[in-house]
Amino acid sequence: MDEPVLLTGAVGRVGQAILRHIGTDYEWRLLDRAPMSSSKRPEGIDADDIYIGDVTDADDVREAIDGCRAVVHLAGDPRPEAPWDSVLQNNIDGTQTMFEAAVEAGVEKFAFASSNHAVGAYETESRTPDLYRPDDDYRLDGTEPPRPTNLYGVSKATGEVLGRYYHDHHGLSVVNVRIGNLTEGHPPIDYERGQAMWLSYRDCAHLFERCLLADYDYETIYGISDNDRKYYSIEGAREALGYDPQDNSAEWDGDDHVDGER
Amino acid sequence: MDEPVLLTGAVGRVGQAILRHIGTDYEWRLLDRAPMSSSKRPEGIDADDIYIGDVTDADDVREAIDGCRAVVHLAGDPRPEAPWDSVLQNNIDGTQTMFEAAVEAGVEKFAFASSNHAVGAYETESRTPDLYRPDDDYRLDGTEPPRPTNLYGVSKATGEVLGRYYHDHHGLSVVNVRIGNLTEGHPPIDYERGQAMWLSYRDCAHLFERCLLADYDYETIYGISDNDRKYYSIEGAREALGYDPQDNSAEWDGDDHVDGER
């Protein structure tokens, strides 16, 4: 892919994971609301490739997206407890603005950062905590309709539906990545749910790289590592994108933490 | 049901169908943006029961909903071609405001007017026009995820997800009615699609009455008459709500139009 890839929300954890691992492999453009501190600006990104603007501002987005072949849209209010007015504006309106501009600019692929919070209410009392354990075979696979945990999750589910519309009517390839629990270095400790949906930084970067390289129409997949504990299937990501995760939260269980570059 | 039922958007066609047939059977409260002309105000509704206000204004909604046991939420921009800004505000934000107020007021049942436009993109080129014909057995049944035809349809799909959240987290009984093609008197003429998704006025009123009377948790059902041509299943509405439609667009096909009170 020679044309630039627009990445929104690069200062967040997902953006940092992506840029740290594949920041020098693509020609990135970054769109963020505030100027990026030098510590967050990765190697290989020129100051000229950083656009300051808001994803809810169509003009800002148009300027940044012009000439891009693909979009990785991460920007938005990332707080599960975010109030409605904020997710309505930043996540729902912002995502529609991004899709509209992507179609106008002739973008081919659009990876949307959805969330486990779009489906968190499948974790009913009767299913938990068994759900989080390695011997439980319950799986969500991306074909199930959303059951949001909060209004943030509602906003992510709406982004997925927007993608469906822009795919069906404008031919854009869209992949919704329902991101699990992304933590740097090691999985969450003493938190079974977080271990079950752990996504390592390198698997995260690899997954979004597959979103740039694979051929797909409209997909909703789960973004987690290949954890022994899991209730999200990664088969959809394997099949649709060629995702091949390297990490597993079980390798960190107990006392025998595995060392290695992560 | 002795407590009042709040009906938003009563001046639209769905509201008129409901009030014409069951307007005197319940204690209705109406919430509308503009004062209602006397021709639209049905018999049996006191001027005191008509609240002027906007569904996006939490204070307006709180005043109207206080003491209500059930809500029939029809208000919103009804135009399939409505621009994003309008559906974002009137349909998405307005529906969230309604749900929030309903929970706060202790409402038990919430019927949401969704739309065939939330799933219109299932009507692909390869399926049409066979889909619209009596001998085709393709059915949407309400378990399929949305595939909106337009941004209006995206807004309706978002209303459905909001209902999922408010049901899961606040115990509200929610039914999404994906309304077909509601026309007064007779089905659309020379329009197979409209005949396949025809909803007569009396079936419409009966369906929303079942939404007030039946016991349900969270349901997404199709609102059409019992048409010979159909690609929406009405089994979900029959089972969840006890819907028992009386009309069928086939009775109007060709030259032998059936007369009768409709």
The mean pLDDT value for A146-154 works out to 98
Contact B250, B229 (CB under 8 A): yes
Torsion of CA B218, B224, B230, B235, to 10 degrees: 40
The residue type found at A261 is E
The residue type found at B160 is E
Contact A87, A151 (CB under 8 A): yes
Half-sphere exposure of B110 (CA within 13 A, CB side): 31
Q: Express each pLDDT in B51-79 by its tens digit.
A: 999 999 999 999 999 999 999 999 999 99
What pLDDT shows up at residue A128? 94
CA nearest to A155 within chain B: B158
Residue B261 has pLDDT above 70, yes or no: no
Residue A261 falls inside a structural domain: no
**CATH code of A155's domain:** 3.40.50.720
Task: Write out chain B residues lying below 8 Å of A169, CB-based.
Answer: 121, 149-150
Spatial distance between the Cα atoms of A131 and A109, rounded to a whole number of angstroms:
33
- The domain tally of chain A equals 1
Q: Express each pLDDT in A180-236 by its tens digit.
A: 999 999 999 999 999 999 999 999 999 999 999 999 999 999 999 999 999 999 999
Give me the phi and psi of B105, to 5 degrees please: -90, 0
Residue B201 falls inside a structural domain: yes
| Distance between B69 CA and the closest CA of chain A, angstroms | 24
CA distances in angstroms from B211 to B108, B110, B174, listed in the order given: 11, 8, 9
The mean pLDDT value for A12-36 works out to 93
pLDDT band at B185 (very low <50, low <70, confident <90, very high): very high
Spatial distance between the Cα atoms of A152 and A155, rounded to a whole number of angstroms:
5
Among B36, B80, B74, B27, residue whose Cα is nearest residue B55: B74
Give me the phi and psi of A224, to 5 degrees please: -140, 160
Task: Tally C-beta pairs within 8 A across A and B.
Answer: 75
| Distance between B93 CA and the closest CA of chain A, angstroms | 7
Q: Express each pLDDT in B130-184 by its tens digit.
A: 999 999 999 999 999 999 999 999 999 999 999 999 999 999 999 999 999 999 9
Half-sphere exposure of A236 (CA within 13 A, CB side): 20
Say whether B227 counts as a known binding-site residue.
no
Identify whether A129 is preceded by a cis peptide bond (ω within 30 of 0).
Answer: yes
The mean pLDDT value for A135-142 works out to 96
Copy the structure tokens of residue A167. 């795919």
| Distance between A210 CA and the closest CA of chain B, angstroms | 25
Residue B84 falls inside a structural domain: yes
Residue A162's domain comprises 5-251
Contact A203, A227 (CB under 8 A): no
Residue B259 has pLDDT above 50, yes or no: no
Task: Write out chain B residues lying below 8 Å of A148, CB-based.
Answer: 161, 164-165, 168
Contact A172, A102 (CB under 8 A): yes
Task: Write out chain B residues lying below 8 Å of A166, CB-based.
Answer: none
Q: Which of A26, A122, A132, A152 is catalytic?
A: A152
Spatial distance between the Cα atoms of B133 and B229, rounded to a whole number of angstroms:
5
Q: Express each pLDDT in B87-131 by its tens digit.
A: 999 999 999 999 999 999 999 999 999 999 999 999 999 999 999
Copy the structure tokens of residue B185. 């008197």
Residue A262 falls inside a structural domain: no
- Cα B14 to its chain centre, rounded Å, is 7
What pLDDT shows up at residue B76? 97
Spatial distance between the Cα atoms of A237 and A219, rounded to a whole number of angstroms:
9
What pLDDT shows up at residue B253? 64
Contact B219, B208 (CB under 8 A): no
Task: Write out chain B residues lying below 8 Å of A121, CB-based.
Answer: 164-165, 168-169
Q: Tell me how long chain A is.
A: 262
Residue A42 has pLDDT above 90, yes or no: no
Residue A259 falls inside a structural domain: no
Tell me if chain A has a CB within 8 Å of the CB of B91.
no
Least confident window among A94-98, A117-121, A256-260, B244-248: A256-260
CA nearest to B164 within chain A: A147
Residue A256 falls inside a structural domain: no
Residue B144 falls inside a structural domain: yes
Residue B87 falls inside a structural domain: yes
Q: Tell me how long chain B is.
A: 262
